[in-house]
Amino acid sequence: MADVPGPLAAFIVGEIRRARGANGMTQDAFGRAAAFSPSHVSAVEGGTRALTMDFVKGADRALDNGGLFERLVVKLGVPSWFLPWLDAESSATQLRCFQPTLVPGLLQTEHYARTVLRTVDSLTDDEVEQRVKGRMSRQSILTGERPPQFVAVLDEAALRRTGDGLGGIMAQQVAHLIAVAELPHVHVHVIPTGSGLHVGLSGPFALARSTQGLWVGHLENQLGGDVIDKDDEVATLQARWESVRNEALPRRQSIDLLKEVESQHGPQ
């Protein structure tokens, strides 16, 4: 299961520990009720083991609180529709992501992510900051001991957005893309504007391959997102992935284009 974002995890763990104590439950008794070993409970409470959604749900069962902690994570951390994809993403051995209008979340800088999230008028400043922290926390999967192979395809138009105050943010973002693209397990490919129309312009999507070799997809829209796990629908996304990947420039040429775009955005 996906890790709860770090800043939020510390708060949730503290509340779980207090609730356990208020109910007079030892770590052993709590672990049995939550389906985790006492050592696992101790490690989570001590901060040496990540808090996962699996543990949060187990805590809710053990404390019989009607799902309070899961609701807190959803309210304060990430949208509920995104949690199933986080589970798939965090344990994937391979990730494929296509974005025609934005830089993929796993490759965003903090300033870029904040600017994108602030376009959602319904989010408060605190909610924006929580989601920025969560997005930055997600990126740790690319720098862990066994990171997935991550291949991202994005449209050149997403890199050339301009506007008041956006030039410096975009220059920093493109510089970050160039740096990350040099990692051996990260491949960034750009579809040049001259490619014209292609199937990917219908919308963004992502694919994740599990340790068991199974693929799932993710589709995001204006109202939320869906995890795609039906064989025929996954096959359709894989076919579309091949199409957009074939439209993109090779890895080295993509990096050269990124460098050209960076210079046009001006100094960071």
- 245-267 residue pLDDT tens: 999 999 999 999 999 998 887 65
Where, residue-wise, is CATH 1.10.260.40 in the chain?
A: 6-76
Q: What is the pLDDT of residues 125-166, one digit of tens each?
A: 877 887 888 788 788 889 888 899 999 999 999 998 877 778
What are the distances in angstroms from CA 266 to CA 107, 158, 171, 178?
Answer: 20, 16, 7, 15
CATH 2.60.120 fits 80-265, yes or no: no
Query: Phi and psi (nearest 5°) for 152?
Result: -120, 135
Q: What is the mean pLDDT of the chain?
A: 87
- Which tokens in the block code for residue 138? 């997600």
Task: Return the pLDDT at 71.
Answer: 78
Domain(s) labelled CATH 3.30.870 in the chain stretch across: 80-265
Total count of residues recorded for the chain: 268
Statement: 6-76 belongs to CATH 1.10.260.40 = yes
User: pTM value?
Assistant: 0.71
Q: Which residue ranges in the chain fall short of pLDDT 50?
A: 1
Q: What is the pLDDT of residue 150?
A: 97
